[in-house]
Amino acid sequence: MTGLDYLEGKSTKKGRYGVTVPKPFAFDIREKVRPKTIRQNKIDNMIEEKRWEDEQHLHYHFKPKPIPSIVLEPRFEKINTANEERREMVK
């Protein structure tokens, strides 16, 4: 930038106030470009598989079996009446 550029109002900096935009360091760029490791690929696959399983569980519709008829029978009352009859016979 020469003295004339300064007088004409030209600036190499960006924006109204001449804010400097920093350039990323080389190691930052290298980390973004580096391919994934085998471990990272396995972890990503495991996470994707878990998401798929969760999605399958969300779409599963439970179909209950009908109640067995033996549950609806009053068996406890039958046992009590049988015990009372047995007691009466013993007396």
Over residues 23-75, the pLDDT tens digits come to: 878 888 887 888 889 999 999 999 999 999 999 999 988 899 998 888 888 88
Q: Distance of CA 66 to CAs 72, 76, 79, Å?
A: 12, 22, 25
Give the pLDDT confidence score for residue 11 in this predicted structure: 53
Block residue for tokens 């209950």: 64
pLDDT at 32: 80
Higher pLDDT, 56 or 4: 56
pLDDT at 9 over 80: no
pLDDT of residue 81: 94
